[in-house]
Structure 1
Amino acid sequence: MPELTSEDISGLIRGYFKDAVSQSIELAYILPRDHLYDQAGEIGSLKQRMLELEALLAHRSWPASVQSEAHELLGTILPEKLAPASERFQQLCQGILRADHKNARILAAMLAGKFHEVAPQDPIFVGIAVNEPPPVPGDGTTAPAEQTLASVATLFHAYKAKHDWVAKTAADANRVLALTKSIIGEKKLFKTLGIDDVKAVRDAIASLPPNYVKVAANKGFSPKDAIKANVSGPTLALKTQDKYYTMFRQLLIWGRNEGYIDKVPGEGVKLAGSAKVDAGGNRKPYSREQLQAIFASPLYQGHQSETTRHKPGPALVRDGKFWVPLIALYSGMRMGEIVQLLVTDIKTQDGIAYFDVSTSEGEDKTLKTQSSVRKVPVHKVLLDLGLLDHAHGLARMFPEIKKGEDGYYSHNFSKWWGRYTRQIKVSTKDTAFHSFRHGFKDALQAVEAPEYISKALMGHSDKDVHAGYGSGPTLSVMKKTIDKVVYGIEPVIAEIGSNG
C-alpha cells in the first residue's frame, strides 16, 4: 500500500469541503424560492447541527456515517481500506467533521443573507472560494438539480411545522428525520427510495435502545452503533416505535403528494406489533372507585406537607397539584392545556365564567391542534370549591409548575402524577392522567349531550358539512350541559370544600 501523507489527507478533506459547499450554494439558491421554506427554522436547524458537530469533535467521536464517508474518499486513492485506528484515518474523520461544521455555518450565513460571513476561517479550508454563483435557470449545459432525501425532508418539515404540528411534534419529527437521513443517506435521490430503504428505517426504529432518538444521537453514536451495542437490550416502547415509523411514512406520503416521487415505496411494510398498538393504545377512564380513592387521598383530605402529599397530615395546599386534576375531571381539558393556564385565561361572559383555551404570541403556550382553541365553561363544582379565588394577579395560574427538560409545563407534572397515583395505589397500566379526559367524554354521553356540544367542549374537530356554518353552540348552552356532568363521587368532592 502506498504511504499516505498528511498532504494527501488534506487534499481529500478540501475536495470533500468543496463538494459540500457547492451543494450548499445550490440549496441557498433553491430553498428561498420554495413557498414552504421556513428561513428561521432552517437556520435554527443548521446552528443545532453545528453544536452537535462541535460535540463530536471535542470528544473525537467519529459516527459510522463519517467513517463510511472516510472509507469512500480513501477508495479514490487507495486499493484497499485503511485501518480505522490509524493516524491518517483519524485525521480524515476529523477533517470531514470540520468540513461539515464549516459548511453548515456557510449555508446558515447564505440563507440569512450574510454573504460577508461565508469565507471559511478554519485553517485547512482558507483560500477555498465559496462565492461561486448557482447554475443559471434555463442554462442547457447544466441539468436541474434533483431533490435529495435531505432537501425533501427539509421542505416536508417546514410545511408540516407551519400548518399542522405543534412544537413538540415538530421536534419529534426532526429527530426521526435525522435518524432517517443517517440510515438511508442524506444525498440519496428522493425519487430512488425503494422498499429496502423503508425496511431499513423500520428495522432501525425497532432495534434502537430507549431514548436513543432524544439522547444518544446527540452524543455521537450512530444508529448502527447503537443497534450493534443493543443486541439483547431493551428497545423503544412499541407505541414510540409506531409514532416514529408513522412520521417516517408521512414523509413518503407527502413526497408522493408533492410530486417528488411517483409512488410511496414499501406500502405493505408494517412495523411488527403495530396491531397491538391499534388495539391497546387508548387509555381507559378512571373507574368510580379510582376517582373516589384519588379525591379521598391525602392530596385532597390533608397531607403532611407541601413536599409530602401522599401521607395524611394537617396541611391542605391548594396549588397546581391540587387544582389540575380537579379541572381535568370537570372540564375534559388536556393536562398541557391546564398547566399552562394564565390567570387571565379564566374570563366571564354574560355572567358565565369560562376557560379561554387559546394561544397568543408571547404567552408561552401551545395547543395540540387548531380545533383545540375553544371556550369551556367552569363547572359549578369548581366554582363551589373556590377556583375563582385562586385566579388572581396577571401571571400563570400555577407558577410553581415549572417547565420540564422538553420545554413543556406538562413534563414534570406528568411525572409527579404518575408517582402520586402509584403511592396511593391507584395506578394501573391502562390509566394515566389522560383518563380524566376519557371519563369526561363518557360523562357527557351519560347525560346525553349532543355530539356537536361534546366536540366543542373537548376541542375535537367536526368534519360534518354542517359544522362549517354558524358559530357553534353558545356559552350558555355549553354551561347547562357541563353542569350536568357528575361522577357519583360528588360527596367526596364536597368534603374537600368543607376542609378548605
Structure 2
Amino acid sequence: MEAVDRMPGLGKNKVDAMIRSYFERLLSKTEEIVFLTPQDPSIDPEFEATLAEEDRQRLQAELAKGKFDKITLLEAQELAGTGANTPHNVSADKFRAICNGVLRARIEQRRIYVAMLRGAFDEVKSKDPLFDGVTSTGMPPLPGDEPEPKQLTLENVIDKFCAMKEVQDWTSKTADENRRILGWFREQIGPTKNINDINIEDVREFRDTLFKLPKHFTKTVAFEGMGLAEIAAAKPAGEKLGASTLQKYFGCVRWFLSWCGDEYDIDTSKMLKLKIGHKINSFDAREPFSHDQLKRLFKSPQFTGHNSPSHRATPGSLLIKDGKFWIPLIGLYTGMRLGEIVQLLVTDVREEKDVLHFDVNKGEGDAKKTLKTKSSVRRIPIHPDLIRMGFMDHVALQRQKNPKGRVFSEIKTGKNGDHSHNMSKYFGRYLKLVGVKTGKTTFHSFRHNFADALRNAEAEDSRIKALIGHAEKSTTGIYGVGVLLKVLAKDVERINYDLDFSHLFINAKDI
C-alpha cells in the first residue's frame, strides 16, 4: 500500500483507518452469527467452520496472487464511495490499496470466525498487524434493550465532521488546520455541550474573541498553553489578526455549523448570519512587487551569480539554474500559483501549433495534483524571455532523467503534504536576505504583477482571467473554449516589465 503515501487527500493513514473500521464491522457481525448459531439446531458449527476455513484459504491464495474476487471489489467500491469498477475520483493504485485492505480484513474475519465456532477463543485476537488493537463494537442490542443514543456533544460531532471530511475532501494539511480551528471553538464553547444547545451568543462570543487575538499568536511562546479567551483577556499589544485570517478561522466554524444544520436538522440560520464584516478577495490580499523590488530581486546574487548552493544571497561566480532559479521567473511571466509551478511535470510543458505552453491540469493516477479551483485548469503560453534564458533546455534535461517526472524534482513536498511549503519558506527567507520583503509581498505578488502587465498590454479582461485561472461567468470562461492559444500567446508576448534580463539570455551559438 506504499503508493497511497503519495496521494493527496486520501493517504495511507486514511486508507488504513477506513479498512480498520470496515474490519471492526465484520467482527461485530461475526460475534452476532456465532452467538446465534448454537440456538439454531439446523446449523452444524463444525461444518460451518470447515466451509469458512476453505473460504479463508481461497482468499489467502488470491491475496498472494494479487487478485480480487467480485465481493472484494464491490466492498472496496462501497468504501470508496462509488459504484464504478475503477472510481473516477480514486486512482488505480489507491483503489487497489483499498481492495488489498478489504481482502485482508475478510481473510482475518474468516480465521477468527473459525476459532470462535470451535471455541478456541485464545485465537480470536487479530494476527494481521493492520488490525492490531481492533475489537468488535459488540452485537446489536435486542429489541427493547437499545442503549441511549450517543450524546450529540460538540466534541463528538466535531470528531464526526472531521472524520467524514478527511476521507472525502481534505488533504492532510487542510485536516490539521481545520481540526485546530474547531478545537479552539470546542474549547471555548465547552466540549460536552450538546450542539442543540449552542446559540447565537456562543458563536458571537467566539467571533468577538477572534477579533482580540494578536497576529502570530499561535507561534508566540508567551501564549503557549493558553486558551483563546485567556489570550484575548490579557489584552496583548500589537497588531491583531488580519481580515483574511479572521475569515479563514471563522469561516471554518460557520462551515461546521452549516453542516450540523443539515446533518442533525438543527436551525443554525441565525448563527450563520454572523460574519466577520466584509468579504476578503484573496487576490486582493497581497500587493504586487514594485518595479524597484523586481529590479533588486532579479539583480540579486541568485540571478547574477552566488557563492554556493546554500548561500545564494551572497555574491559569487556560481549561477545554478534549478528550481530556486526558475520558479520565481516562471511566477513573474505566467502568474501561476507557487503550488501549480512546483507540481509541473515535464509532460505539462507542451507545444501546440507552434505555441510552447504550460498545461496546468489535475493530473491522474500517481501524478494527481492539488489545484485551488476548477478554473485553475488552463494553458499558459511560455514567454519568449524564459525560452531565451534556456528554460526548454532545463525541461529537456529533466525529461531525460525521468520522462514522467516533475520539472523541479529537487523541490520536495513539505511534511504537511503541501507541495509549495518548502519553496515558499525558502523564497520568503531569500526576499528578506536581499532586502525585498515587505508585509504584503510574497510569491503570490507575482500574480498581481502578471495581471497588471497584461492590462498594460491591453489584453481583454476575459483573456486575463483565462491566463490567471479566475472563473469567468460567461461560456467563454470555460477551459479550452472561446480563447485560442495563439491569441493568449500574443498577449503574453506583449508583456514588458522594463527589466534587463540580458545577462541571463543564452546566445544562439551556446544553445
CA contact (8 A) 2:332 2:450 kept: yes
DSSP-derived class of the 1:356 partner: strand
Gaps of at least 5 residues in structure 1 are: 1-37, 48-108, 121-125
1:285 Cα deviation (Å)? 0.7
1:382 Cα deviation (Å)? 0.9
Deviations 1:450-480 (A, max 9, x none): 2222222111122336646973422222222
Once the two structures are superposed, the pairs formed by residues 310-349 of structure 1 within 5 Å of their partners are 310-349=313-352
**Change over 3 Å in CA distance of 1:259–1:468 after alignment to 2:** farther
DSSP-derived class of the 1:289 partner: helix
The residue number in structure 2 matching 1:373 is: 377
1:229 Cα deviation (Å)? 11
For residues 243 and 486 of structure 1, the distance between their equivalents in structure 2, rounded to whole angstroms, comes to: 35
Once the two structures are superposed, the pairs formed by residues 98-497 of structure 1 within 5 Å of their partners are 130-133=137-140, 148-150=153-155, 152-153=157-158, 156-157=161-162, 168-202=173-207, 205=210, 223=227, 227=231, 232=236, 237-238=241-242, 239-256=244-261, 260-267=265-272, 269=274, 282-358=285-361, 359-363=363-367, 365-391=369-395, 392=398, 393-394=401-402, 395-464=405-474, 467=477, 471-489=481-499, 492-497=500-505
CA contact (8 A) 2:258 2:272 kept: no
**Change over 3 Å in CA distance of 1:152–1:302 after alignment to 2:** same
Q: How many residues align?
A: 386
For residues 326 and 295 of structure 2, the distance between their equivalents in structure 1, rounded to whole angstroms, comes to: 16
The residue number in structure 1 matching 2:34 is: none
CA contact (8 A) 2:151 2:194 kept: yes
CA contact (8 A) 2:313 2:433 kept: yes
1:284 Cα deviation (Å)? 0.9
For residues 287 and 253 of structure 1, the distance between their equivalents in structure 2, rounded to whole angstroms, comes to: 41
Deviations 1:275-325 (A, max 9, x none): 697899611111112111111111111111211111221111101111000
Deviations 1:140-182 (A, max 9, x none): 9999878554565456556766787665334322322233333
For residues 314 and 172 of structure 1, the distance between their equivalents in structure 2, rounded to whole angstroms, comes to: 42
**Change over 3 Å in CA distance of 1:420–1:130 after alignment to 2:** closer
Amino acid at match of 1:496: L
For residues 43 and 197 of structure 1, the distance between their equivalents in structure 2, rounded to whole angstroms, comes to: 37
CA contact (8 A) 1:165 1:369 kept: no
For residues 480 and 406 of structure 2, the distance between their equivalents in structure 1, rounded to whole angstroms, comes to: 33
For residues 479 and 155 of structure 2, the distance between their equivalents in structure 1, rounded to whole angstroms, comes to: 42
DSSP-derived class of the 2:350 partner: strand
For residues 437 and 428 of structure 2, the distance between their equivalents in structure 1, rounded to whole angstroms, comes to: 7
For residues 470 and 416 of structure 1, the distance between their equivalents in structure 2, rounded to whole angstroms, comes to: 34
**Change over 3 Å in CA distance of 1:375–1:297 after alignment to 2:** same
CA contact (8 A) 1:179 1:213 kept: no
DSSP-derived class of the 1:375 partner: strand
More deviation in 288-297 or 345-354?
345-354
1:194 Cα deviation (Å)? 0.3
1:436 Cα deviation (Å)? 0.4
The residue number in structure 2 matching 1:73 is: none
DSSP-derived class of the 1:426 partner: coil
Deviations 1:345-387 (A, max 9, x none): 2122233222121232312632112221222221111111111
CA contact (8 A) 1:167 1:366 kept: no
For residues 442 and 167 of structure 2, the distance between their equivalents in structure 1, rounded to whole angstroms, comes to: 30
**Change over 3 Å in CA distance of 1:229–1:493 after alignment to 2:** same
Gaps of at least 5 residues in structure 2 are: 1-10, 21-101, 113-122, 127-132
The residue number in structure 1 matching 2:41 is: none
**Change over 3 Å in CA distance of 1:475–1:308 after alignment to 2:** same
**Change over 3 Å in CA distance of 1:282–1:344 after alignment to 2:** same
1:341 Cα deviation (Å)? 1.9
1:343 Cα deviation (Å)? 2.1
Length-normalised TM-score, structure 1: 0.64
Amino acid at match of 2:333: Y
For residues 330 and 408 of structure 1, the distance between their equivalents in structure 2, rounded to whole angstroms, comes to: 23
DSSP-derived class of the 1:311 partner: strand
The residue number in structure 1 matching 2:46 is: none
For residues 211 and 134 of structure 1, the distance between their equivalents in structure 2, rounded to whole angstroms, comes to: 50
For residues 415 and 481 of structure 1, the distance between their equivalents in structure 2, rounded to whole angstroms, comes to: 32
For residues 15 and 475 of structure 2, the distance between their equivalents in structure 1, rounded to whole angstroms, comes to: 37
Deviations 1:399-457 (A, max 9, x none): 22222232223222222212211222211222111110111111111222222222221
CA contact (8 A) 2:345 2:407 kept: yes
> RMSD across aligned C-alpha pairs, in angstroms?
4.5
CA contact (8 A) 2:214 2:239 kept: yes
For residues 469 and 410 of structure 1, the distance between their equivalents in structure 2, rounded to whole angstroms, comes to: 24
Length-normalised TM-score, structure 2: 0.63
**Change over 3 Å in CA distance of 1:203–1:350 after alignment to 2:** same
For residues 254 and 141 of structure 1, the distance between their equivalents in structure 2, rounded to whole angstroms, comes to: 27
